[in-house]
Amino acid sequence: MGQEIRGVPEASSLTGTGIGHYLSSQRRLRGISLDELAGRTKIPRRSLERLEAGSFDTASDGFVRSFVRAVASSMGLDPDEAVMRLIDEPAEVVPPESFGWRPSRWLAGALALAGVGLVLVGLWWLLEAWLAPTPQSDPRDVILRRDPVRALAGEAAPAPARDTAPVAP
């Protein structure tokens, strides 16, 4: 615990109203003015007023911790205890209900089911397209096109001469 200043021991204020209220009540209990505290800590009076007003109650960063530590030690309080009052206790963890209707779970299940349905429909469509019989074409529908260049070449070329005489061996 802290020290005794001017014959007044440190009072334990466990009201949980914030570090600003705690330090303000401890300062008034010891009969220390804000100007005197500002002189001891070299912290501007305006900053001390903001601390006691609760402006730093929700912040617990390194700057605020050192600020609270300096004010507490200058008043004779235990700096570690003052910092511990600044830091909130972790909230009690409540296990989720194992059975129960939750809209978020229902929505997630519905979206998952819809996604699976879309995938199955897509696979069915692809399988139908792949396995569907192709229509057979009628041989009469086949169009034969003649190459005009080849036809002209055939007409212009002389026929090879045939030898009608037998060849002697």
The confidence score (pLDDT) of residue 20 equals 85
114 vs 90, residue with greater confidence: 114
The confidence score (pLDDT) of residue 3 equals 53
Tell me what the mean pLDDT of segment 39-59 comes to: 85
Domains of the chain: 19-86 (1.10.260.40)
The confidence score (pLDDT) of residue 102 equals 65
Total-model pTM = 0.45
102 Cβ partners below 8 Å, 6+ apart? none
Tell me what the mean pLDDT of segment 107-113 comes to: 89
81 vs 100, residue with greater confidence: 81
Residue type, 100: G
Would you say 83 and 68 are in contact if contact means Cβ atoms under 8 Å apart?
Answer: yes
Spatial CA neighbour of 11 closest among 65, 108, 82, 63: 82
Would you say 56 and 7 are in contact if contact means Cβ atoms under 8 Å apart?
Answer: no
The confidence score (pLDDT) of residue 13 equals 42
Q: How far apart are the first and last CA of the chain?
A: 137
3-state class (DSSP) for residue 93: coil
127 Cβ partners below 8 Å, 6+ apart? none
